[in-house]
Each structure stands twice: as C-alpha cells, then as structure tokens.
Amino acid sequence: MDFEKDLRSYETGIEGLKLFDLCVHGDDRGWFKENWQQAKMSSCGLRNFHPVQNNISFNAQRGVTRGIHAEPWDKYISVASGSVFGAWVDLRVGKGFGKVFCCRLDPSKAIFVPRGVGNAFQALEDGTAYTYLVNAHWSQELKESYTFVNLADEQLAIEWPIPLAECELSMADRGHPRLRDVSPMRGKRTLVTGCKGQLGRAIRQIANERGLDGFEYCDIDSFDFSDPRSYDSISWDEYGTVINCGAYTAVDRAETTEGRVACWKANALGPSLLAQTCARHDITLVHVSSEYVFDGRRDVHDEREPYAPLSVYGQAKAAGDIALACCPKHYVVRTSWVIGDGNNFVRTMAALSDRCADPADGLELVSVVNDQRGRLTFTDELARGIFWLLDNGSDYGTYNLSNEGRTASWFDIAKLVFDRKNDNASCVRAVTTSDYYDDAKGPVAPRPHNSTLSLEKISDLGFKPRDWEDELFSYLEGIG
C-alpha cells in the first residue's frame, strides 16, 4: 500500500465510474486516512451524492467473490483492511452497455460507482473488510430492481486473479444470467406534476415525440404536492428529476379570502415540500415561476432583480422561488404570458374576432388593455427550453425563458389575432388597466406594467428562443 499520495481522481472508461487515490498516513503503529471528506472529494471532481447508509462486507477468507450486482443507487467503495480485485460492468441502457473496468483496491484507493454499473470483487487476503457508502436506504423493494450478470460470463472475459472454481461464491451469484440475457437497467424516472395544465401537456408531447422512457405524469387528483401526506405514497429514490408544472394561476381570485389560502398552498407550500423532498433524495427539481414576482417598474427584468411582488399571486410565487433554494439541484424557470393547449388570451381573442365578424352576434368592439407590455411564451417553447437545460446539464439556478421578439401590449397582440383571423383589427379598442377593471364585481390583482424578461442568460448558453409573432401565427393556424 502506498502512503502519503495526493488525493487524485482517474477516469475509467465507464461513464460516471471514477477511481481515486486516497491520502493514507502511516507509521509503525499502522495507518490513518480520511476515507470520505466531502469538500475534498468535490474539489477532485466527485459531486455530493448525499450518502445515507454505510455498509461493510467482511470476508473471512481469501478468494471470497461477490457480484456482479448493479443496484438502483450510487455508492462510494473503499477497503478498510486487506485488498480486493474489483470488476465493474456498465449494465445501463445505452452505448456503454457491457463495458468492463477492473483494478485492485487496497486502503489507499477508492471508487465511485454510479447507479446501474454492476459491481463485483474478489478478496485477495484473509480478513478483508470492504466498505461502501450508498445514497438510498436498502429495502426489499429496491433489491428487487437489481440487475445481475454472471461473474464467469465469457463475453466480459474478466481475468480473476484467483480462478472462480477455487473461490467461495453464493449459489445466487453462480446462477446469474450471461450478458446476452441481461435486461439493461433503465435510468431514474422523471415525474411531471400538473400534467393536465397547458405546460404539462406540452412537456408530455415533447417526451412522446422524442420517445423518452421513464416519464410519469400526475395532477392534483393523484398527487397533491401541497399536502405532506401525499409524499408517503411515492418511492422517491426511483426518480432523478421532477418537473413541477402545477400552480394556482387565478390571479384575481387569489385576492379573495378563499383564493389567498389556495394560492399560497399551491404556489408556496407545495414548492417548499417538493424542494425538501428532492433535496433529501438528490433529485433535480424544475419549477416554473412568473414575472409577477416583480413590480414591473423596470422595462426589462433579469434574473438578478430583487423580488417586489404587487399581488397575492406574485407574493406566493416569490415565496415558492425562495423555497427552491433548499434544493441543491434546482432550476427556477421564470416565464410570462403563457399560451398553450387550453384557455388563454389568444384563444379568447380569436373567439371574439369570430363574434365581431358575425353580424348576427352584435359584438362591435372589444376593449383590451394597452398599458401592460411583454412577450408571449408558447408552452412548446417553454417545454423545449426546460428540456434543453436538463439535456445540457446547465448550471443550477434561475433562468428567464419566454419567446424572443419585440415587446408589445395586450392590445397589440389582440390586433394581430383579429387581423389574422378575420381582418377585423379595427374592432379592438385600447383602454388602460384601471378603465378596463372599472366595473369589476370582485377584487382585482395589481399587475406589473412591464413583463418583458431578459433572455440574455439562457441565450448566452446557446438556447435561442423563437420569435413570438412567428409562433403566434402558427398557433392560430393550429386552432382554426
């Protein structure tokens, strides 16, 4: 065993499998090492995988051989005494399936094994203690999702230092299938909440178009993410990503006594519970926010602007955004003026244009506010951006995301819709927000007058949003 080596990491040829030299201090009395030190391991290229359980496998005799087991968690392996010959096989879905890496481990070395990579070892000395940290609690349910391959598989061609015929093996390990008969372990699943809303439907459509496996969809009727009791019914260790599309969006109703409670529950408490759960289980959480967290005094809002919400809805959304900070792996995707498959401003204007074009209807003018300005965000573009952040492993944090294009008022957009639908833009009349709500029968939430979001941050990373006017015309053609 080598003493006083510097901590160092090595690539192995298997994606995510990392080998480490550990710094071991020794003298005539024995030796000491820091087996796991998070800050130092992070600086050496190993992310914090949030271990929750420490296991030790004691092997009384030289030649004990165990494996090859691929488990549904990550683990960090080292040796406390003795030495082993280790073999690791990629058993995940993908082009790396079947790739092998082998090396000898003694107390001066460690290895990080990602979920789905099969692990096996052979004790090279009597009294070998093999230790490992894992980031999920063992359970019989999880054990049933292991993937195995035979230690003696000819295709793997592992050169065991001690012939397997001379080794102590369990009957189960002797009976594992050959590689040709192994079903690869699929990746962790993705949970999409609020799947019945406009964005949830767009996320599902893209996932289906791309043929992505492992996506599961839920709405408040099957999983109420604002109810702590709902969380007990889900095996969170099986998920790698949660995309939260659920929200309370009745902006004016949120100003009522009942609406305020519902709004804070869905937009603040729910995201907080999701963030805590995802933090505990090392899950990436995507959460969609709103420009309503700002007061609209600035012409353009960037990600660094301080919160200054005007309404109950905006306050609850800001609280939800802040709660996300307790989840290390999170994206807050801030957007505005969302248009998708469902009730929205563009569909309403298209229907009103048809009514104005019908003399029998009697509708002559439609009043639309002209002092709220921003850009439309189509849900297919919002969903495309979310997948882009995830696919590219972008840095966690907050990103503005809308369609690109000029800043316009709701009045400007309404005229475009009327003109394209029935060439009757003259039917649209501009009014101020205060005039529009003069005859409102219930409470009216204050709106930010400027909703335009700066797209510089996400554009600099390589995502180029499409122009909202081009997409508006395509959208109108789609709804007829």
Residues taking part in catalysis = 69, 132
What is the C-alpha to C-alpha distance for residues 278 and 49, in angstroms, rounded to an integer?
13
7/326 Cα distance (integer angstroms): 30
Identity (one letter) of the amino acid at 230? S
Whole-number Å distance between alpha carbons of 199 and 338: 9
Whether residue 169 contacts residue 113, with contact meaning beta carbons closer than 8 Å, is answered with no
3-class SS of residue 463: coil
Contact 274, 244 (CB under 8 A): yes
Q: Are 167 and 65 in contact (CB under 8 A)?
A: yes
The pair of three-digit structure tokens given for residue 292, joined into one six-digit string: 């309503």
Distances (CA, A) of 114 to 16, 49, 78, 289, 461: 6, 10, 14, 32, 27
| d(C-alpha 71, C-alpha 148), whole Å | 9
**C-alpha–C-alpha distance, residues 465 and 261, integer Å:** 35
How many Cβ atoms sit within 10 Å of the Cβ of residue 37? Answer: 14
User: Is 432 in contact with 370 (CB distance < 8 Å)?
Assistant: yes
What is the secondary structure of 32-95 as a DSSP string? EE-S--HHHHHHTT-------EEEEEEE-STTBEEEEEE-SS-EEEEEEES-EEEEEEE-BSST
- The pair of three-digit structure tokens given for residue 44, joined into one six-digit string: 């050496």
- The maximal CA–CA distance of the chain, rounded, in angstroms, is 101
Give CA 299 to chain center in angstroms. Answer: 31
Helix (H) or strand (E) run with residue 113 in it: strand 109-113
